[in-house]
A and B are shown apart, each in its own frame.
Chain A
């Protein structure tokens, strides 16, 4: 089958899903789309620059809390909070990135983790402002966005936009510059690229996109919780990207779908989801290091 036919088939499936999925299935699908956007955002930094951020939950959570606080305290309508969520998450990424992207490899990973845990601790304890560990609950995103179908299409639209953005970036001179810096920083400087600005720009953009995923999460749960900023949330993006294949543009989305669907399936039958997840990851790393996208044969698939 030709690539175009594949794309059309997937598109038809995605667009028609709310009309044939059962209610529960639709809820799971929305969650998968949110994670897909989050993991794709994370992978912009991971795949293009080779830097493993363990702190993307901070941007996801920053987006979510911006939405929740604006709705609860300022009475903003849900949809209008999107630009604010993206902006706040992006600014937070700019600040954290400013201190982190200069460091390399493991130090970058630990630093982003530390920053994110710091933000989590603040949100978790600041009862007067964020509601502390109670979170912000009882939000009403309006009749339309309270409807699962509408929310599904909103999530699909935002994911598609995010994916398109990451893909355009991947193919652009900017994307090549990022991979040049990843492949060989010394050579990149010697052709006239200064790594810091490129890495910071990519990290900021990635954080802003993660904020859009956080925006969606609030409508899905009608709440915001400190858990959104906890390190396990960052791990979800990492697992989804690796599961699907970080070197393929659609890898993180594919990984998110499998991660969320498999999780829902296993959790509805047993209480051993972490055990199953562990086994799946083990098998993956041992037998399929390119992730599920590696099954398609294209080790370095490009979109």
Chain B
């Protein structure tokens, strides 16, 4: 079976600083794969390479066997990759429903229409309502996005990331900025929703407890290199990993 995501020998440096040094990574279908490491380990750089924001100096990224390297972000996301950011990012001038409707239309390449009002796009709105139902925000569809608390904005962001029916979802620190109880809630939410959808997930997270609970597989990055990879139990007991984290 072909891997959902295959990162092969990616190298990326900025002005002589090597951010990613020969990084390879495979994400198998249906797995929840965590990418962890101390600050500056290269997690964000790797994310940006995968989504096409950075072009790697060497190596390549494939999604279900198709090469992504060199494609701009807006093409990458229309090829089966959903992205949700670390800082919850919605379009704050619009309502919750408009945010998700726009995402649905954008995924279908139907945002060039300049005559029909957005509110007449029935199919897209239905689909957006369905997505909002999945993330538990059906009741808040009509509210302005700027009125939502951070936890709900993250859910809107995830609904938008799911608009294109992605096979792989990238979540960059889904728990960042949330309170303890919100974190528990979000972990449960991610687990139920994404497992239910049969989605493959690649995520970064600083909250170790959450990582161990969610992940089927963990890749540890350290100073731009893959330090270890394995099941949560193996990683937890890996001496090099413990040292890397404690040594920080």
Contacts and interface: CB of A to CB of B under 8 A. Distances in A.
Contact of A190 (B85, B93, B111, B116): B85
Interface residues of B, number: 38
Interface string B111-149: 111111111010000000000000000000000000000
Contacts of A168: 114-115, 117
Query: Is the contact region of chain B dominated by helix, strand, or loop, or is it mixed?
Result: loop
Interface residues of A, number: 25
A168 B115 CA distance: 6
A198 B117 CA distance: 17
B116 A173 contact: yes
Interface stretch (B14-22, B99-107, B201-209, B230-238): B99-107
Nearest to B79: A192
B92 A191 contact: no
Contacts of A134: none
B91 A173 contact: no
Contact of A177 (B93, B106, B121): B106
Given A186-B85, A192-B74, A194-B74, A173 B93 contact: no
B78 interface: yes
Nearest to A205: B114
Contact of B164 (A171, A173, A176, A192): A192
Interface in A158-204: 168-169, 171-177, 179-180, 182-184, 186-194, 198
A102 interface: no
B213 interface: no
A300 B93 contact: yes
B41 interface: no
B116 A191 contact: no
B8 interface: no
Contact of A174 (B89, B103, B111, B163): B111
A194 B112 CA distance: 11
A192 B107 contact: yes
B217 to A, nearest CB: 24
